[in-house]
Structure 1
Amino acid sequence: MPNKIRILAIFLDFLVIIALTFMFYLLLPVQTERIVNLPKGSLNKIITYLGENGQSLNPLDTYIIRMLGVPQSGYIDMKHEILPRGAYLKALVSSKAATKEVTLIPGETMYFFIRSLAQRFPLSVESLESAYDKYFPYPDGVIFPDTYKLPVGVDEDEMMKTLYDMSIKRHQQSAIELLGEYNEAEWFKYVSMASIVQKEAADNQEMPIVAAVIFNRIKIGMPLQMDGSLNYGPYSHSKVTPERIRNDDTPYNTYRNKGVPPYPAGSVSIQAIKSVLHPADVDYLYFVRDRASGKHKFSKTYGEHRSNF
């Protein structure tokens, strides 16, 4: 009998040690993003996604999550960036965040997109602009045109960091798919050129032809002289006047500066980027909009160009 009591006592001590160890484990701090975007799919897919983004979860974590429930896909607000592991695992399952949609159309500038964000959520324009400058490497053209579901309740810094993380990932994926590698400086040279194509072309079919005109003008040292580059920032919807051309001293003025501006002039679709990477095989130097069709008439010589007006 005493042996049985001793065995029972040892067993109970063992259970206490396990319980204390488990409690200690659940109290270990976990560093996380405040806003986490969980993919759709199975728990295994979510666990894999978290692991690929710096949150490796072991089999015990997976078991605990299964016991707590099923994580909901989409944006969730973890409330804090450092959580005890137990609270972190529970937050993955229970945290939810309402989202609102906001759309960035191809060719639109950050000046207007930021104001749409501020009105939609609502947030401060000035704080959004400051957060944009903090995270984004270029004043425009980094956020892909798309409809974004973004979390309600985050501040301006978190909003812009979320958009930055999504955007840079898309640029990296697109560059690797189209070029085989991602070199930020080289890639955004193409994006800058594509931003002019985006604003000048009447449709996707015209984009490779407009891109060819840009390359042809650069090849002979001719200024691009394209109004689309001057539709940057607050001038996205403004008609380019002779006065603007004379007085605008920014790098976007392709009438006064040769070559492509160092920064994109607005948001850029993947079609515009592809047109720059694969321009049409034509020797056009000029184009003018046909008022009847809304498309452009392209020409090789200035004389032909004048006759197209």
Structure 2
Amino acid sequence: MKKPRKKVKSKKSRILLWVLGIILVIIVSFITYLLTSVTSPKIVYIPQGSVFKSISHLQSEGVNVHKIDAFILRFLGQPQQGWIDVKEVKMSRIEYLYTLTTAKAVSKSLTLIPGETTEMFLRQVSEELSLDLTKLHHSYEKHARLSEGNFVPETYSIPNEFSEEQLIVHLLNESDKKMRILAQSYNMEPESPKWLQIVTKASVIQKEAASVTDMPYVSSVIDNRIKKGMRLQMDGTLNYGEYSHQKVTANRIRTDRTPYNTYKNKGLPTSPICNVSKEAIDAAINPKATDYLYFVRGKNGEHVYSSYFSTHHQNIVNATK
């Protein structure tokens, strides 16, 4: 009876040694993994969201991190958000992940207002961040898909040390991601001609509407006038580029020969006239069901709409009294 017990005991010992051996291999492998090197830019951007989103973004930027690092990072703490300075270009993995949770933010906030043109936005960027305007223009022309309407208006986090080209590429990439998500929410592709037409219409709405609630009504006027073969004749389309904040005069209407002049050209401009908000895009896709053809800004700042020119003329008279 004793011999079988020894065999059982010997078998259990072998299993225990086997398990301990596996555990030891795992521990050694894990420590070895933590000591592998990570190569990264000194200044990195950490988006808002989970640690998995942070790791995914770093991967997209060429940093040699992996999904398992998200679990390690969660154990170490929450990474800083925005642009952070990790100091070293190369360090061990454990040092790098720990640094992501302790590094200081090195960024400024930059806000793009809905309805602003890229020209005015680049001037703002040049002034606020002390960057070269000519280089900003050159970088934009080099990387932008469209001449206007590429940026998504919101507040961006910008690192203190950033070249003109790096800034433009970052803003375009971030805007492209947001625009792609927005387009796909309407089952459209952001590169399609249909989406370009929607963004172009939204840019006109953005310039003309007195408020967000006003946007679907302006959208309906645009559609109604196009259906009837009428020119849009909207001043906002002439507030493109450097003319963003200039009053549109009769002389400007007569002499402007660009596709933006909707007093001379039928339909929408061939491309956006400004950077648009998601509210303007939604209004472009979902106009109010009206038969309005005209509107004028009333004394209270809100638009007064009408379906007949005679009524519109009287509304103009009332607005100027």
TM-score tier by shorter-chain length is 0.7 to 0.9
| Aligned sequence identity (%) | 41
**TM-score when normalising by structure 1:** 0.80
Question: Residue 57 of structure 1 aligns with which residue?
Answer: 66
User: What amino acid does structure 1 have at the position aligned with 2:168?
Assistant: M
User: What amino acid does structure 1 have at the position aligned with 2:279?
Assistant: Q
Shift in Å at residue 113 of structure 1?
A: 1.1
Shift in Å at residue 207 of structure 1?
A: 0.9
Cα distance change, pair 91–164 in 1 and its aligned pair in 2 (3 A): farther
Equivalent residues of 2:55, 2:67 under 8 A apart: no
Question: Residue 169 of structure 1 aligns with which residue?
Answer: 177
Equivalent residues of 1:213, 1:285 under 8 A apart: yes
Deviations along 1:179-200, one digit per CA (max 9) or x if unpaired, are: 1232323222111111111111
Structure 1 stretch displaced more, 95-104 or 157-166: 95-104
How many residues matched?
A: 286
Distance in 2 between the 1:170 and 1:65 partners? Answer: 26
Distance in 2 between the 1:261 and 1:84 partners? Answer: 52
Equivalent residues of 2:81, 2:105 under 8 A apart: no
Distance in 2 between the 1:42 and 1:211 partners? Answer: 38
Question: Residue 308 of structure 1 aligns with which residue?
Answer: 315
Equivalent residues of 1:110, 1:266 under 8 A apart: yes
Question: Residue 106 of structure 1 aligns with which residue?
Answer: 114
User: What amino acid does structure 2 have at the position aligned with 1:256?
Assistant: K
Cα distance change, pair 62–204 in 1 and its aligned pair in 2 (3 A): closer
Distance in 2 between the 1:68 and 1:294 partners? Answer: 54
Equivalent residues of 1:197, 1:272 under 8 A apart: yes
Equivalent residues of 1:202, 1:295 under 8 A apart: yes
What value does the CA root-mean-square deviation take over the aligned residues?
Answer: 3.2
The runs of 5 or more residues in structure 1 that have no matched partner are 1-17
Which residue, out of 91, 97, 116, partners 2:124? Answer: 116
Question: Residue 298 of structure 1 aligns with which residue?
Answer: 305
Shift in Å at residue 139 of structure 1?
A: 2.1
Question: Residue 127 of structure 1 aligns with which residue?
Answer: 135
Q: 1:250 and 2:258 equivalent?
A: yes
Q: 1:283 and 2:300 equivalent?
A: no
User: What amino acid does structure 1 have at the position aligned with 2:227?
Assistant: K
Equivalent residues of 2:85, 2:106 under 8 A apart: no
Distance in 2 between the 1:238 and 1:149 partners? Answer: 29
Question: Residue 213 of structure 1 aligns with which residue?
Answer: 221
Based on CA coordinates, which of the two structures has the bigger radius of gyration? 2
Shift in Å at residue 44 of structure 1?
A: 4.5
Equivalent residues of 1:35, 1:75 under 8 A apart: yes
Deviations along 1:172-229, one digit per CA (max 9) or x if unpaired, are: 111112x123232322211111111111111112111111111111112211111000
Deviations along 1:244-277, one digit per CA (max 9) or x if unpaired, are: 1111111111111111112211121111111110
Distance in 2 between the 1:136 and 1:79 partners? Answer: 31
Shift in Å at residue 164 of structure 1?
A: 0.8
Which residue, out of 254, 257, 267, partners 2:275? Answer: 267
Equivalent residues of 2:179, 2:190 under 8 A apart: no
Which residue, out of 178, 190, 207, partners 1:183? Answer: 190
Question: Residue 156 of structure 1 aligns with which residue?
Answer: 164
Equivalent residues of 2:84, 2:107 under 8 A apart: no
Equivalent residues of 1:213, 1:286 under 8 A apart: yes
Equivalent residues of 2:52, 2:67 under 8 A apart: no
Which residue, out of 197, 216, 241, partners 2:205? Answer: 197
Distance in 1 between the 2:307 and 2:71 partners? Answer: 68
Distance in 2 between the 1:123 and 1:92 partners? Answer: 28
Cα distance change, pair 148–249 in 1 and its aligned pair in 2 (3 A): same
